[in-house]
């Protein structure tokens, strides 16, 4: 995931704020089905990205393609099972510690 973020939209190498959660049917479940004629099965990988606004639609499309390619290459995830959603916010929405808004002047 991080490699795709660096390759496609320029995330810094040390920007590794990632949460990985398993939905294996025991610790949690992830509902899926067919939507937009894309079938999904129990091999689904749901990726939820929160980042600052400002990337272009083309950068996001590149990100989706890169994530899918790397997931298939490195983890044998079927491309139809890669589901990605992006949430964007502003620099004021981030604090990385010390009660400060590091992205604000």
pTM equals 0.82
Q: Are the C-beta atoms of residues 7 and 65 closer than 8 Å to each other?
A: no
Q: Which domains does the chain have, with CATH numbers?
A: 2-15+41-93 (3.30.429.10)
Listed in sequence order, the residues at least 6 apart from 62 whose beta carbon sits closer than 8 Å to its beta carbon are: 7, 8, 9
Residue 96: which residues within 8 A CB-CB, separation 6 or more? 102
15-43 pLDDT per residue, tens: 888 777 776 666 666 677 888 899 888 88
Instruction: Using alpha carbons, select from 32, 56, 34 the residue that is nearest to residue 42.
Output: 32
How does pLDDT run across 57-73, given as a tens digit for each residue?
Answer: 999 999 999 999 999 99
């Amino acid at each position: 995931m991080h490699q795709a973020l660096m390759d496609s939209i320029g995330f810094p190498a040390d920007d590794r704020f990632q949460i990985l959660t398993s939905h294996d049917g025991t610790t949690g479940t992830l509902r899926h089905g067919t939507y937009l004629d894309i079938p999904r099965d129990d091999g689904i990988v749901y990726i939820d990205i929160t980042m600052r606004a400002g990337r272009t639609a083309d950068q996001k499309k590149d990100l989706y393609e890169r994530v899918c390619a790397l997931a298939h290459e490195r983890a044998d995830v079927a491309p139809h099972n890669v589901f990605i959603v992006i949430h964007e916010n502003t620099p004021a929405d981030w604090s990385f510690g010390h009660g400060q808004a590091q992205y604000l002047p």
